[in-house]
C-alpha cells in the first residue's frame, strides 16, 4: 500500500466534478486534516461525526501522517484515512531547514495527488504540522479552505494558514487578535464529540466496572502522557486512596509511561489492592473518554483541547499546563478556566505527589466547591460547536 493509499474507514474515493458542498445530485465531499496529538485529531473527528449526522451521504477523507496518532484514531472512528510523509519543521541550522523544506514540498505534492483523486468541495485543517502541506495543496487546487484553532494562542501552522483560509474558526474569543486578518475570524468554540455530553453517569461508570454512587477521579496526561503528572501519581496517589477508602480512580499514562506507572502502583500495597479490585484502573490510553468523563466527579489533566471537553461536560478540574508547548499555549487556555472559577491551575514545576494528594483531597471533600466549579465550567461550554462548523462546511 502506498502512503497516499486509503488505509481504512467508511466511504470511497471518487472522481466526480468538484463543486459546492451538497450540490444537487451529488453527495458533498469534505477533506479533513490535523495530526500529531489527540488535541488536533479529536476536534476534526467531532466535525466529521456532525457532517454525517447532517448529511449521511457525505464522503469524507482524513489526511494525516502514518506515524501520528491520527493513523490509529481516524480508522477507529470509521473515517477513510490517507497518509502523507511529513515531519515537524526543524529549522535552526541551514541544512536542517533545507531538509525540512524539501520534505514539506514533497508532502504538498503527495497531498495534491490525493486531492486530485478525491476532489473535495471543502477542506478543514485543525492544526499540527501535517495540516500545513495538506491545506496548501487544497488551496492551490482551488478547494475552499477553513482552519480551526483549539488554543487561545495559535501555533505557527495555523498562523501561516490563516493567510490562505477563507475562514478562521477559533475556540476562544480572545484568539481573534492573534491572527493577521481578524475579520476572517469566527468564534465557534471547540468541536467536541457528540457523545461527550450524551453519556450518563451510570453508563460511564458501567463502562469501567465502577460504582456510580462513589466519588471518581480521572487523571489524564494527554495522548502522549505527561512525566510530571505520572510522577505525582506514583508518589501521591497512595495517600489519596488511603484517605478516601471509597474513592475510584482512572489514570491514563500515555504509552511510554504505562509499564512504569502501573508496576510502581502495583507494588505499593493500597494502590496494588485497589488495582486488584478495580477501584484503581491504569491505562496507556483511554479510548472511551466520553464514558470516562461521565463517570468522573473531578479531572486532573493538561490544558490542551481537553479544557473544552471539560466545559462541554461541566466538569471541575485541576489543570497542569504543559511547559513543552510552543508559546505556552496551555497556560493561556488554563487561565481562562481558572479566572472563571471553573478550574484550579497548577504550574508543571509545582506539581508533586504531596500537592497532587492535597489538592484532590481538598476538592473531593468540599462538595459545594466542586458544584460551583462545575456550574462555572458548564457556563463556558459551547457543546454545539461541532454542529456549527459542520453546517459551515456543508454551506
Would you say residue 91 has pLDDT above 70? no
Would you say residue 170 has pLDDT above 60? yes
CATH number of 29-187: 3.40.50.2000
Phi/psi of residue 173, nearest 5 degrees:
-60, -35
Q: What is the pLDDT of residue 26?
A: 81
Q: What is the residue extent of each domain of the chain?
A: 29-187, 196-380
Q: Which among 31, 36, 32 has a CA at the least distance from the CA of 305? A: 36
In the chain, % of residues over pLDDT 90 = 79
Same fold, 29-187 and 196-380: yes
Cβ neighbours of residue 375 closer than 8 Å, sequence gap 6 or more:
314
- Write out pLDDT tens, residues 16-31: 334 446 555 689 999 9
172-181: list long-range contacts, CB under 8 Å, 24+ apart.
172/333, 172/336, 174/336, 175/149, 175/151, 178/152, 178/153, 178/154, 179/154
**CA 3, 9, 15, 18 torsion: positive or negative?**
negative
Q: What is the pLDDT of residue 180?
A: 84
SS3 310: helix
User: In the CATH hierarchy, which top-level class contains the domain 196-380?
Assistant: alpha beta
DSSP per position, 323-339: TTSGGGHHHHHHHHHHH
Mean pLDDT for 350-378 is: 97
Q: What one-character DSSP code corresponds to residue 175?
A: G
Would you say residue 326 has pLDDT above 60? yes
Residue in this structure with the C-alpha cell 468523563, named with its chain if needed: 293
Amino acid at each position: 500500500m502506498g502512503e497516499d493509499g486509503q488505509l481504512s474507514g467508511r466511504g470511497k474515493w471518487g472522481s466526480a466534478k468538484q463543486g459546492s458542498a451538497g450540490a444537487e445530485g451529488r453527495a458533498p465531499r469534505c477533506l479533513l486534516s490535523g495530526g500529531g496529538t489527540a488535541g488536533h485529531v479529536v476536534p476534526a473527528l467531532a466535525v466529521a461525526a456532525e457532517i454525517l449526522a447532517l448529511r449521511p451521504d457525505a464522503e469524507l477523507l482524513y489526511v494525516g501522517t502514518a506515524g501520528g496518532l491520527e493513523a490509529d484514531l481516524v480508522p477507529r472512528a470509521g473515517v477513510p484515512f490517507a497518509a502523507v510523509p511529513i515531519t515537524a519543521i526543524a529549522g535552526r541550522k541551514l541544512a536542517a531547514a533545507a531538509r525540512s523544506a524539501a520534505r514539506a514540498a514533497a508532502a504538498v505534492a503527495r497531498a495534491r495527488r490525493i486531492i486530485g483523486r478525491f476532489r473535495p468541495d471543502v477542506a478543514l485543517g485543525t492544526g499540527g504540522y501535517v495540516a500545513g502541506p495538506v491545506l496548501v495543496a487544497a488551496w492551490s487546487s482551488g478547494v475552499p479552505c477553513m482552519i480551526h484553532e483549539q488554543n487561545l494562542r495559535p501555533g505557527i501552522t495555523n498562523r501561516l494558514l490563516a493567510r490562505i483560509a477563507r475562514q478562521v474558526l477559533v475556540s476562544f474569543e480572545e484568539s481573534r487578535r492573534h491572527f493577521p486578518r481578524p475579520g476572517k475570524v469566527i468564534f465557534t468554540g471547540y468541536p467536541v464529540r457528540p457523545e461527550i455530553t450524551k453519556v450518563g453517569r451510570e453508563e460511564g461508570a458501567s463502562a469501567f466496572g465502577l460504582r456510580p454512587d462513589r466519588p471518581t477521579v480521572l487523571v489524564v496526561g494527554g495522548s502522549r502522557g505527561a512525566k510530571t503528572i505520572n510522577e505525582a501519581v506514583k508518589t501521591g496517589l497512595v495517600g489519596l486512596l488511603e484517605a478516601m477508602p471509597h474513592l475510584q480512580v482512572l489514570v491514563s499514562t500515555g504509552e511510554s509511561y504505562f509499564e512504569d506507572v502501573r508496576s510502581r502502583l502495583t507494588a505499593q500495597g493500597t494502590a496494588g489492592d485497589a488495582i486488584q479490585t478495580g477501584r484503581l484502573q491504569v491505562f496507556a490510553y483511554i479510548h472511551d473518554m466520553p464514558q470516562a468523563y461521565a463517570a468522573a466527579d473531578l479531572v486532573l489533566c493538561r490544558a490542551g483541547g481537553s479544557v473544552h471537553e471539560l466545559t462541554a461536560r461541566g466538569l471541575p478540574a485541576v489543570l497542569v499546563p504543559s511547559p513543552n508547548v510552543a508559546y505556552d499555549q496551555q497556560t493561556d487556555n488554563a487561565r481562562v478556566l481558572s479566572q472563571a472559577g471553573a478550574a484550579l491551575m497548577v504550574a508543571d514545576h509545582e506539581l508533586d505527589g504531596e500537592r497532587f494528594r492535597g489538592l484532590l483531597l481538598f476538592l473531593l471533600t468540599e462538595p459545594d466547591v466542586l458544584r460551583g466549579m462545575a456550574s462555572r465550567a458548564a457556563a463556558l461550554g459551547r457543546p454545539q460547536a461541532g454542529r456549527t462548523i459542520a453546517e459551515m462546511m456543508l454551506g
